[in-house]
Structure 1
Amino acid sequence: MSYETLMFIHLYSVVPSFVLGTLNLILRKGTNLHKTLGRIYMILMLFTAVVTLFMKAHVGPVFLNHFGYIHLFSVLTIYTIPTAYTAIRRGDVKVHKRKMILLYFGALIIAGGFTFFPGRYLHEVFFG
């Protein structure tokens, strides 16, 4: 699969993730709506993290001729989602909340911010 195809698959899954994650941060916690949106958010985030592992790094240092520092956010996501889900299933709201906030700001806000750096597709779309 081409980089461009993977990039668009990633964009089409991460944009709704951002919207759902933002809503779940704002909405009342513990409701059926929060749980439903949260499950969809988790699935989309896992999907988009796996997709990014197949995308070769184009900016910055590259390891093993493929991975860059940006891929650490994929690993963060793949680790955080199951542990946050397990925490809430155990009733540990504090751990779940901390992990989900970390995921939102780490994987969506910080990693998303990097997509606007020169040499990246969204930089070209918005500033190019």
Structure 2
Amino acid sequence: MSLAPLIAAPLLIQIHAAAATAALALGGYQMASIKGSKAHRRLGWSWVALMALVAATSLGIVSNWPVVGRFGPIHGLSALVLITLPLAVLHARRGRIANHRSAMRGLFLGGLVIAGLFTLLPGRLMYHVVFGG
């Protein structure tokens, strides 16, 4: 493992990776912690902000697999995250906890875990960070 490729990357990518890593850690904690408490709500707002930052910064990163211009499939996921985040919060505020839970789990698994696994494909920056070479 070497952080050298990430340190050499543009600032936007560094911010994106740092926000994604923080969101992954905080999201994992949130999934395992007691729900409905003040701490859960405060940390939840932090997680929402991190996820919005992850999605927004990804829109400035050029796709390895462009479909439309410089945008690829992952950019569609970013748009979905930016739409789903406020809806998930709205569900919680309106007491629709099952919908909130489902949306947040989907955002965590799809927007972070699965998308994160794609960053580990050979040739991608995070592949070089984690596996070297």
Write the distance in 2 (CA, Å) between the matches of 1:111 and 1:10. 13
Letter in 1 for 2:13: M
**Runs of 4+ in structure 1 displaced over 2 angstroms?**
none
- 80, 83, 86: which is aligned to 2:87? 83
From 50, 54, 57, the equivalent of 2:56 is 50
Measured in 2, the distance between the counterparts of 1:119 and 1:17 equals: 24
Query: TM-score, normalised on structure 2?
Result: 0.89
Which of residues 17, 38, 46 is equivalent to 1:40? 46
Report deviation, 1:63: 2.5
Number of equivalenced pairs: 124
- Conserved? CA contact 1:76–1:103, under 8 Å: no
Partner of 2:117: 113
Q: Structure 2 matches for 1:1-20, cutoff 5 A?
A: 4-20=10-26
> Could you tell me which amino acid in structure 2 is paired with residue 78 of structure 1?
L
Deviations 1:80-124 (A, max 9, x none): 100000111111001000000000000111000000001210111
Which AA in structure 2 matches 1:105?
A: L
RMSD: 1.1
What is the match of residue 130 of structure 2? Answer: 126
Give the Cα–Cα distance (whole angstroms) in 1 for the partners of residues 123 and 82 of structure 2.
26
SS in 2 for 1:66: coil
- Tell me, in whole angstroms, the C-alpha distance in 2 between the residues paired with 1:38 and 1:110: 20
Q: Distance in 2 between matches of 1:88 and 1:126?
A: 36
1:33-65 Cα offsets, whole Å, 9 max, x none, are 11111000001101110110011102x3x1332
Q: Which runs of 5+ in 1 are unaligned?
A: none
Q: Please give the alpha-carbon distance, in whole angstroms, between the structure 1 residues aligned to 2:74 and 2:26.
A: 22
Alpha-carbon distance in 1 for matches of 2:29, 2:84? 19
**1 CA distance for matches of 2:129 and 2:24?**
19
2:36 aligned residue? 30
- TM-score normalized by the length of structure 1: 0.92
